[in-house]
């Protein structure tokens, strides 16, 4: 999956970044991630088992002010690796249900005091439930997934971000019998517990939220006999509180080997 995210904050908004309080923070972030999922032949009734891993290559350019001093930093390379030790899947007559547990390992580079870190310097555990309703005869695809990010404390800053609830939805309709699909996507990021640590106390817990709605396009094609599902999302954010506000563009390709 490819991701590009360009965002910023108000000059009056204080943002905790790697042990500093930063104002007027602007950032451009890009990521190219390769994911592999293994589906086992082992089944428990109608439930299938799987596991996966994701390796992201990332680049971040950030600019902001610490006190009266303006500065900019960049960072690039292999970001935090994602290990998915368990995926449970069930489907029946166009209904698809999946439960999974993702573990974000702090493998990316991180420097205390830098404005640009593609690594987080903490572990994140994310249980997720996803559901899709796919009706190929009428070309309709409706999907939603909800998860919660549970984060540990950074040992370099003694800062811990609060638990983050996220909901992503999309609905697309195929044009014709086998043409592209067009639709609408939306997402909610809502922090449900306060950040903790010295900076978090100073910033009043720093609970953030954001909402996003935008168009989505899908296209299915074959490459060397392999069916590829591609999708393109554009999600501009609004009603943002204590977070960056910007635009996210997602481009993904998935195939079965």
Cα 92 to the center of its chain, rounded Å: 28
Cα→Cα distances 38→89, 226, 252, Å: 12, 17, 18
Q: What is the mean pLDDT of residues 167-194?
A: 91
Top-confidence residue, 138 or 60: 60
pLDDT at 210 over 80: yes
User: CATH says 2-255 is which class?
Assistant: mainly beta
The string of pLDDT tens digits covering residues 46-102 is 899 999 999 999 999 999 998 888 999 999 999 999 999 999 999 888 899 999 999
> Is 209:243 a contact under the CB 8 Å cutoff?
yes
Residue whose token pair is 């999974």: 100
In percent, how much of the chain has pLDDT > 90? Answer: 74
Q: What is the DSSP string of 175-228?
A: STTTS-EEEEEEEEEEE-S--BSHHHHHTTT---EEEEEEEEEEEEEEETTEEE
Q: Is pLDDT at 203 greater than 70 in this prediction?
A: yes
Res 177 pLDDT > 70:
no
Q: What is the pLDDT of residues 246-257, one digit of tens each?
A: 999 999 998 877
Give me the pLDDT at residue 178, please. 65
Strands 82-92 and 47-66: antiparallel
Domain ranges for the chain, please list them.
2-255
Q: Chain-wide mean pLDDT for the chain?
A: 93
**36 with 55: CB under 8 angstroms?**
no
Whose tokens are 């909610």? That residue is 188
> DSSP string spanning 103-114?
EE---S---TT-
> CA–CA separation, 103 vs 184, rounded Å?
29
- Of residues 226 and 74, more confidently modeled: 74
- Coil, strand or helix: which one is 137? coil
- Predicted pLDDT at 195: 95
Question: Distance between CA atoms of 245 and 14, rounded to whole angstroms?
Answer: 14
Radius of gyration of the chain (CA): 20
């Amino acid at each position: 999956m490819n991701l590009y995210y360009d965002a910023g904050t108000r000059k009056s908004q204080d943002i905790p970044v790697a042990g500093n309080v930063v104002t007027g923070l602007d950032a451009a972030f890009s990521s190219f991630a390769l994911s592999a999922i293994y589906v086992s032949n082992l089944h428990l009734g109608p439930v299938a088992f799987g596991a996966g891993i994701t390796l992201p290559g990332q680049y971040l350019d950030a600019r902001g002010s610490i006190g009266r001093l303006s500065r900019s930093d960049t960072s690039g390379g292999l970001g935090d690796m994602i290990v998915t030790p368990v995926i449970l899947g069930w489907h029946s007559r166009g209904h698809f249900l999946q439960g999974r547990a993702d573990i974000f390992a702090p493998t990316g580079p991180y420097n205390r005091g830098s404005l640009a870190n593609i690594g987080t310097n903490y572990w994140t555990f994310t249980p997720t439930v996803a559901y899709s309703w796919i009706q190929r005869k009428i070309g309709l695809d409706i999907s939603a997934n909800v998860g919660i990010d549970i984060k540990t404390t950074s040992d370099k800053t003694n800062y811990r971000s609060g638990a983050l609830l996220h909901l992503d939805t999309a609905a697309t309709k195929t044009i014709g019998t086998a043409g592209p699909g067009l639709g609408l996507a939306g997402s909610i990021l809502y922090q449900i517990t306060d950040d903790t640590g010295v900076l978090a106390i100073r910033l009043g817990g720093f609970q953030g939220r954001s909402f996003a709605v935008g168009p989505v396009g899908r296209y299915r094609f074959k490459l060397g006999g392999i069916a590829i599902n591609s999708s393109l999302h554009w999600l501009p954010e609004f009603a943002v509180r204590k977070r960056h506000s910007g635009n996210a563009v997602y481009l993904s390709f998935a195939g079965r080997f």
